[in-house]
Amino acid sequence: MRLVELANKTKNEIFIDMDGVLVDFFDAWAKLMGKKNFRDIKDIDKGLQAIRDKDDFWLKLRPTPNAGKLLALVRKLKGSYTILSSPLADDPRSEPHKRMWVEKNLKQFPPKEVIITGNKAKYAQQSDGTPNILIDDFGQNIDKWNAAGGIGVKHKDHKFERTFQTLMNHLNKDEKVKERELTKGEEKEKERIVKGMKKNKKDFKKRYGDDAEAVMYATATKMAKENYTRKELPQIKNKHLENIEHDIIFLKINEVITVQKERIIENFKRQVDRLLEGKYAPIVVDCDNRIVNGHHRYDAVRLLGEKTIPVARIPYTLEYIIENFADGKVKGKSRPGRVKRSGASCSGSVSELRKKAKNASGERAKMYHWCANMKSGRNK
C-alpha cells in the first residue's frame, strides 16, 4: 500500500505539540537561566517569570533538530496536521507569538489550524468516535489524551525513530504484510536452529515465559531466511548496473526475499531519511528475487507500509553473483559456482585474466573472460 493510500484509509487526524516537539523550548529556557540543562533550573516559578519578562522569547525559539524530519513524515502519511499547543499562564504574549512563530517557520508545510489551549484532551476524538493522534513530549498530556479515547505518541527529538515506528504501527496496524513461506531447505535449517536453541530452553523460558517456544521458532525462522553476512554480499550499485544486464520492475513486498543476517542501525536511519526526502534507488535482487544489495532500503520501505517495491533484477542466481561479481568488497573463500567448477579463478588483474583466457579453452576460457569483464565493468 502506498503511503498516500494508507493516509486516505485512516481517518485519524494528527495533532502536533510545539514546545519540545517542533520548537527547541527547553534549550532556550536553560540558556535564558544561565544553565546547561533545563533540569538544572530549581526555581521553576522564577524560571517561568523570566520567560514572561523577555519580550521576544517565543519569537526567537529555534526548531528542534528533527522537526523537519517529523513534519516530512507526517506530510507523507497524512498530508495535513494541526498544531495543538498550550499557552504559558499569565503570559499574554505566548499565544500570539506562537502563532507568529508558526507562520514564520513552517511555511513549507503549514498546519491547517493552530490551536492554543490548556485542554488538549478535548480534541482526542472526532464526533463519530474516531481517535485522533497527538504527538507530544509531555507524559501527562499523553495520558490525558489516551484516557479521552485518543492515541498518544510520546515524542523525544533524539528518539525520532521511536516516533516513526509508533506512528506506523498505529496507522498501518491493519495492513500487515503476509510473510512468505520457507523453502524446503530453509525449513530444514530452521529445525536445525531450533534444535540448538532447545539446549538453552531454560534461559528462553526464564526470559519469555510461556512465549519461549514461540520466540524460539520465530527467531529460527528469521535466521533460516537470512544466512549471509553483509561482507559476503556484493555491494552492487547504480554505477555497476550501467554495465550489468538487469530489468527494473516492481515486486510485491512479500515477493522479495531477505538473506542478510545483520543490519546497521545508522544505515537504516539514513535510508528512512532518504525515503522521506523522496530519494530512492531500486534494490538489487537476483533471478529468484533474493536481495543482493539493499536490505536497509527494503526494511525502510516495508516500515513505511508500501505494498510494492522497485527492484533491479539481475538474471543470475545469488550464488553465481557472489562467486563472479568482483567489486573489491567480497573477502575470503567464495562459494562454489560456475567459475570454480570450470577450474578458473577471478583472482588477478584484468590483463592477467585476459592472458589466462587466451591460454585456456572452452568453459574455463569463458569464465576467465567473464571475470575480466566483471572487473572492468562490462557485462558480456
The grid cell for 228 is: 549471509
Give the structural domain span for 63.
3-171
The position carrying cell 515465559 is 209
Last residue of a domain, one of 319, 336, 352: 319
CATH number at residue 245: 3.90.1530.10
pTM: 0.54
Same domain, 115 and 192: no
Same domain, 153 and 20: yes
Same domain, 237 and 199: no
Q: Would the pLDDT of 134 be above 90? A: yes
Burial class of residue 269 in the structure, from the number of CB atoms within 10 Å of its CB (0-12 exposed, 13-18 middle, 19+ buried): middle
Same domain, 193 and 292: no
Q: Would the pLDDT of 364 be above 90? A: no
Asked if the structure places residue 59 within a domain, the reply is yes
How far apart, in whole angstroms, are the C-alpha atoms of residue 308 and residue 5? Answer: 12
Same domain, 122 and 234: no
Those residues whose C-beta lies under 8 Å from the C-beta of residue 214, and which sit 6 or more positions away, are: 208
Same domain, 203 and 265: no
How far apart, in whole angstroms, are the C-alpha atoms of residue 170 and residue 151? Answer: 8
Asked if the structure places residue 115 within a domain, the reply is yes
Asked if the structure places residue 351 within a domain, the reply is no
Same domain, 104 and 167: yes
Q: Phi and psi of 23, rounded to 5°?
A: -115, 135
Least trusted range by pLDDT, from 128-132, 174-178, 227-231, 335-339: 174-178
Least trusted range by pLDDT, from 128-132, 142-146, 239-243, 271-275: 239-243
Q: To which H or E segment does residue 40 belong? A: none
Long-range contacts of residues 139-148, Cβ cutoff 8 Å, at least 24 apart: 141/17, 141/86, 144/120, 145/120, 145/121, 147/121, 148/121, 148/122, 148/124
Asked if the structure places residue 347 within a domain, the reply is no
Asked if the structure places residue 370 within a domain, the reply is no
Asked if the structure places residue 367 within a domain, the reply is no
Same domain, 115 and 50: yes
Burial class of residue 288 in the structure, from the number of CB atoms within 10 Å of its CB (0-12 exposed, 13-18 middle, 19+ buried): exposed
Same domain, 15 and 106: yes
Same domain, 42 and 132: yes
Task: Tell how strand 291-293 and strand 133-136 pair up.
Answer: unpaired
Last residue of a domain, one of 285, 319, 353: 319
Same domain, 212 and 67: no
CATH number at residue 132: 3.40.50.1000
How far apart, in whole angstroms, are the C-alpha atoms of residue 21 and residue 252? Answer: 35
Asked if the structure places residue 332 within a domain, the reply is no
Average pLDDT over residues 80-101: 96
pLDDT tens profile 278-332: 777 899 998 888 899 999 898 888 877 778 889 999 888 887 788 776 543 333 3
Give every strand in the sheet of 308-313, ordered side by side: 247-252, 308-313, 283-285, 291-293
Q: What is the number of structural domains in the chain?
A: 3
pLDDT tens profile 48-75: 999 999 999 999 999 999 898 899 888 8
Written as one letter, the residue type at 294 is: G
Same domain, 147 and 208: no
